[in-house]
């Protein structure tokens, strides 16, 4: 029975007789020994083809592979890092749902939860998406929306002068220089009182006058509601057909939000959504703060957005520069933009449960 045939690589020519031709000394470092059928068989490594002058046993043998095809591939070009030109995170423009203009009141009942901050950031996010927005600061005597927008030095007339006939409505509207499709309208000047006849009907007349503008009819009218549930609150919610309830995950804010929700439903406002502000995931994991899911179960409202705690809120307030205009964007600014997109499409988000941090066990804690 003949012996099994030898297996050679392509660069090794077959021997002219039954035995292998003695290889060159190993000092040339181009062969590696391996165990074969006839003792040691020397096999050429793959890098021998890249040698410009390979040493082969049979000079008449030519390798079948082309040396040019074995060149190392060219390295991929490094990606060019371009600066961020926009902080908009939407790949498409959200489709406007419902009839225009949509009148949305932003309220909470409790002070200091972020109503004015939400109005400024959501309003500018809507304007940056191409919608015409009018923001009304309905807080009488304690207005702050102009400060957050950096327009405090440009407010010359208010709604009180419009009602008294001292100026026109377009003179009281303050247009933002950064986005011309965003306008601010203040009810009164600081430290002033409204006339006795001013109430919900006067604000309804004002909203109807904004609707009647032929050239610039707004798509959204945002009303920044004052804190509390007194006459200022009743006046602010009268012309609205939608409401955004801003709350924080603490029991005092949730009690006031529940009370305000009942008053909104009694006034005929059924489209109520909720924004949970100043959320800290580290405290939620440590069971030191209620989760967003707990807040939603307590109030039973669709969730419009979750705003994380962000130290840049104070800086943006002091500079009169809203968070949604920062470059690079902050987490809170991105959350406000996403909430504005859901508001446009009358959509809501779903809260998820945050896993709790497992408690550390001591050395002598056996059995859990």
pLDDT in tens, 263-282: 999 999 999 999 999 999 99
User: Which of 80-94, 152-166, 171-185 bottoms out in mean pLDDT, i.e. has the lowest?
Assistant: 80-94
The pLDDT value recorded for residue 74 is 63
Q: What is the mean pLDDT of the chain?
A: 79
Contacts of 210 (CB under 8 A, 6+ apart): 101, 134, 169, 217, 218, 221
What is the pLDDT confidence band of residue 362, given thresholds at 50, 70 and 90?
low
The pLDDT value recorded for residue 160 is 87
* Per-state percent for the chain, helix, strand, coil, to nearest 5: 30, 15, 55
The pLDDT value recorded for residue 73 is 59
**Cα–chain center distance at 193:** 40
Is pLDDT of 137 > 50? yes
Decide which of 164 and 52 is more confident.
164
pLDDT in tens, 95-113: 899 898 999 999 998 999 9
Q: Give the pairing type, strands 303-308 and 271-279.
A: parallel
Is pLDDT of 7 > 70? no
Looking at residues 87-95, what average pLDDT do you find?
64
What are the residues facing 224 on neighbouring strands?
Answer: 106, 137
User: Which of 121-130, 214-223, 298-307 bottoms out in mean pLDDT, i.e. has the lowest?
Assistant: 214-223
DSSP one-letter code for 349: B
Q: CA 331, CA 321: separation in Å to the nearest integer? A: 16
DSSP one-letter code for 68: G
Number of other residues whose CB lies within 10 A of the CB of residue 205: 12
What is the pLDDT confidence band of residue 42, given thresholds at 50, 70 and 90?
very low
Coil, strand or helix at 106 = strand
What is the pLDDT confidence band of residue 45, given thresholds at 50, 70 and 90?
very low
Cβ–Cβ < 8 Å for 325, 124: yes
User: Which of 41-55, 83-97, 192-206 bottoms out in mean pLDDT, i.e. has the lowest?
Assistant: 41-55
| Structure tokens belonging to residue 77 | 């070009």
Cβ–Cβ < 8 Å for 323, 330: yes
Is pLDDT of 65 > 80? no
């Amino acid at each position: 029975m003949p012996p099994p045939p030898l297996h050679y690589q392509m660069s090794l020519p077959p021997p002219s007789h039954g035995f292998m031709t003695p290889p060159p000394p190993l000092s040339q470092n181009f062969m590696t020994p391996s165990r074969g059928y006839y003792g040691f068989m020397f096999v050429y490594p793959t890098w021998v083809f890249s040698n410009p002058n390979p040493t082969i046993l049979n000079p008449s043998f030519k390798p079948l592979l082309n040396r040019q095809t074995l060149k190392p591939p060219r390295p991929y070009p490094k990606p060019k890092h371009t600066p961020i030109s926009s902080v908009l995170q939407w790949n498409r423009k959200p489709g406007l749902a419902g009839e225009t203009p949509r009148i949305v009141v932003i309220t909470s009942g409790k002070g200091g939860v972020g109503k004015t901050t939400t109005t400024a950031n959501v309003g500018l996010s809507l304007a940056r998406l191409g919608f015409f927005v009018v923001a009304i600061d309905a807080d009488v005597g304690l207005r702050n929306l102009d400060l957050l927008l950096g327009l405090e030095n440009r407010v010359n007339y208010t709604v009180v002068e419009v009602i008294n006939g001292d100026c026109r409505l377009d003179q009281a509207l303050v247009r933002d220089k950064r986005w011309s499709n965003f306008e601010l309208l203040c009810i009164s000047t600081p430290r002033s009182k409204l006339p006795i006849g001013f109430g919900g009907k006067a604000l309804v007349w004002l909203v109807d006058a904004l609707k009647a503008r032929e050239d610039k009819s707004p798509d959204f009218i945002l009303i920044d509601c004052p804190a509390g549930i007194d006459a200022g609150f009743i006046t602010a919610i009268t012309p609205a057909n939608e409401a955004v309830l801003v709350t924080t995950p603490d029991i005092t804010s949730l009690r006031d939000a529940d009370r305000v929700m009942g008053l909104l439903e009694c006034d005929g406002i059924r489209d109520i959504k909720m924004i949970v502000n100043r959320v800290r995931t580290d405290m939620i994991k440590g069971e030191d703060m209620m989760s967003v899911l707990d807040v939603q179960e307590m109030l039973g409202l669709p969730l419009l957005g979750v705003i994380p705690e962000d130290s840049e809120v104070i800086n943006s307030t002091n500079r009169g520069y809203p968070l949604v205009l920062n470059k690079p964007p902050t987490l809170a600014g991105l959350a406000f933009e996403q909430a504005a997109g859901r508001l446009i499409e009358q959509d809501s988000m779903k809260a998820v449960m945050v896993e709790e941090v497992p408690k550390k066990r001591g050395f002598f804690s056996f059995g859990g």
